[in-house]
Amino acid sequence: MSGPLQADVVVVGFGPVGQVATLLLARPGRRIVVLERWPRPYPMPRAVSFDGESGRILAATGIGDRLAEVTEPSRDYVWQNGAGTVLFEVDVSDRGRSGHPDSSAVYQPGLESALAERAESSPGVTVLRGHEVVALDQDADRVRVVTAGPDPLEVEASWLVGCDGANSTVRAALDLPVTDFGYFDDWLTCDVTVHDGRVLEPNNLQVCDPARPRTAVSAGPGHRRWEFMRLPDEDPADFGTADSAWRLLGLFGLDPGNATLDRHAVYTFQARFANDWRSGRVLLAGDAAHLMPPFAGQGMCSGLRDAANLAWKLDLVLRGAAADSLLDSYTVERRAHVQHAIGMSMNLGRVICQTDPKAAADRDTAMAAAAARRRGTPAEPAVTALTRGVLRRDPTGLGGVLGPQGTVTRDGVTGLFDDVVGTGFVLLSTLPVEGLLDPARRARLAGLGAHLVQVAPAGSDAAGVLQDLDDVYLPLLADAGAVAALVRPDFYLFGGASDTTGARALVDDLLIHLGSERLSPV
């Protein structure tokens, strides 16, 4: 084995979370080495949807123009009981708060292919497939890993991000404690190509039938998935066979004459998370850090949020713009989000997976009445605002809120905010930035790569001013009584300011969170 490869960050695992982490870290020019144990990408889908925030994160990696190839808006989502009575229904917006559909069905192999192509063509990124990590050690300055195989490698980096899945080698090497909720259900997943041209409505269906809880959903353009829960008295070995899959698919009128069973596999849904996602210079993300049942559709989404949260913090630490204590906020922020998503997923699962007929009948009565009352109202979000971490508590109440994305125009360029302004820190203001902040604070923000943007109503024609065509940003500020808001690179708001004094304090508090000092008394 020759001398170790050198990198700023070594990413272990090259599924969607590892791919997004790699691309977000590579964007500012970091040297990234990716180690993936399998020699070829997994050819079948696992996740089948993501939310609007995840769509914005994926677009930030540079594959926004590829998403339409592998996704479609999820449209409607309906719960029925075994008799077909509607228990819950929601029409998913094709343009939500983040500027993307609130839910998109995705063909995961196509998504991974687009992400991999982007990563493998990015300067500074080296992707090494067929290299399983078998040893890991670290000291105060570096992390070292060794891979197995006929051509073993040693890689040395400043930081390591473990995105290597539920059976994470990285997590095991760190021996990190895990909180396990003891939630286990076996479901048979069937990916099917339908040949008879039928229109499947609703597009996404959950059948809460105590005789057989089951699901039928889009898995991206041209792809469909059906899932069936194993009942308590069924033999696990028999349940996972192709014969069992076809018998259950018959509940939806599918058979070998009108459909092809592309894949079938039994998954055990679980709920757990690592108590700490950082150990020295090693950090966990995605399924390596947390697992949840799929009923809230937040498994892959949570991993993409991990990558977005971690990437900007790690970049600042690597370029000396923040102390490494900033990385302690990663666990604090993301674990709270994940705990909420896990709890919501388990609660939904308990409703869906009810197999007692009497309890299911009581559920149906209550849910059908509630559905009639709620019709037309949005569903409860699976993601909450940040309440701890890198945010500022101020009178505007904007700290921790997920920032919106609308259509804007500036100097003749029109598009979504991220495409027109760019990503990274953004200071939004209704006032000219020169009158809001002194030169020293503007310079410090510029040193962080921040965009300083004055927002005005549609029709304003002053040079350099951003026109709020969708009327998104001005109401956000006005409702909070704010003249400015500071947006983090992961699209969450650091905080707001009600006047120029508050704006200076806003910048100072950010610098303190990053491990810097105030510039001058406010």
pLDDT of the residue at 518: 46
pLDDT of the residue at 239: 97
Q: What's 4-48 look like in SS3?
A: CEEEEEEEECCCHHHHHHHHHHHCCCCCEEEEECCCCCCCCCCCC
pLDDT of the residue at 225: 97
- Where exactly does CATH 3.40.30.120 map onto the chain? 407-513
Task: Please say whether the beta carbons of 324 and 317 come within 8 A.
Answer: yes
Encode pLDDT of 275-294 as tens digits. 999 999 999 999 999 999 99
Tokens in use for 472?
């998104």
Going by C-alpha positions, the residue among 267, 238, 242, 266 that lies closest to residue 255 is: 242
> Where does 407-513 sit in CATH, by number?
3.40.30.120
How many CB atoms lie under 10 A from the CB of residue 236?
10
> Where does 5-45+107-178+274-350 sit in CATH, by number?
3.50.50.60
How many CB atoms lie under 10 A from the CB of residue 201?
10
CA Rg, the chain, in Å? 24
pLDDT of the residue at 115: 98
pLDDT in tens, the chain (522 residues): 568 999 999 999 999 999 999 999 998 889 999 999 999 999 999 999 999 999 999 999 999 999 999 999 999 999 999 999 999 998 888 999 999 999 999 999 999 999 999 999 999 999 999 999 999 999 999 999 999 977 899 999 999 999 999 999 999 999 999 999 999 999 999 999 999 988 899 999 999 999 999 999 999 999 999 999 999 999 999 999 999 999 999 999 999 999 999 999 999 999 999 999 999 999 999 999 999 999 999 999 999 999 999 999 999 999 999 999 999 999 999 999 999 999 999 999 999 999 999 999 999 999 988 877 766 555 556 678 999 999 999 999 999 999 999 999 999 999 999 999 999 999 999 999 999 999 999 999 999 999 999 999 999 988 999 999 999 999 999 999 999 999 999 999 999 999 999 999 999 999 999 997 544 443
The Cα 227–Cα 367 span in angstroms is 22
Encode pLDDT of 95-152 as tens digits. 999 999 999 999 999 999 999 999 999 999 999 999 999 999 999 999 999 999 778 9
The Cα 347–Cα 339 span in angstroms is 12
Tokens in use for 200?
């499947």
Cα distances (Å, whole numbers) of residue 136 to 22, 154, 199, 483: 19, 10, 51, 49
Q: Any idea of the CA torsion for 276, 21, 489, 421, to the nearest 10 degrees?
A: -170
Q: What are the phi and psi torsion angles at 366 (to 5°)? A: -65, -45
- Where exactly does CATH 3.50.50.60 map onto the chain? 5-45+107-178+274-350
The Cα 436–Cα 419 span in angstroms is 25
pLDDT of the residue at 28: 82
The Cα 160–Cα 57 span in angstroms is 21
Cα 392 to its chain centre, rounded Å, is 23
Tokens in use for 132?
């399983």
Q: Could you tell me where the beta strands, DSSP code E, fall in 41-184?
A: 49-51, 71-73, 76-81, 86-91, 103-106, 125-129, 133-138, 143-147, 154-162, 178-180
Which residue type sits at 214?
Answer: R
The domain defined by 73-103+185-269+354-379 folds into D-Amino Acid Oxidase; Chain A, domain 2 (3.30.9)
Kind and range of the H or E element at 410?
strand 407-410
Q: Could you tell me where the beta strands, DSSP code E, fall in 172-230?
A: 178-180, 185-194, 204-208, 214-218, 224-229
- Residue 185's DSSP bridge partners are 269
Tokens in use for 445?
């923000």
Tokens in use for 360?
């299911």
How many CB atoms lie under 10 A from the CB of residue 190?
25
pLDDT of the residue at 461: 82
Instruction: Please enumerate, as own/partner, the contacts of 470-479 that have beta carbons within 8 Å and a separation of 24 or more.
Output: 470/406, 470/407, 470/408, 471/406, 472/404, 472/405, 472/406, 473/404, 473/406, 473/408, 473/428, 474/430, 476/398, 476/403, 476/404, 477/428, 477/430
Cα 133 to its chain centre, rounded Å, is 25
Which residue type sits at 207?
Answer: V
pLDDT of the residue at 3: 84
Question: At a CB cut-off of 8 Å and minimum separation 6, what does 119 contact?
Answer: 19, 22, 23, 26, 34, 125, 127
| DSSP three-state, residue 221 | coil
- Where exactly does CATH 3.30.9.10 map onto the chain? 73-103+185-269+354-379
The Cα 35–Cα 7 span in angstroms is 12
The Cα 221–Cα 202 span in angstroms is 15
Q: Could you tell me where the beta strands, DSSP code E, fall in 44-85?
A: 49-51, 71-73, 76-81
The Cα 204–Cα 78 span in angstroms is 6
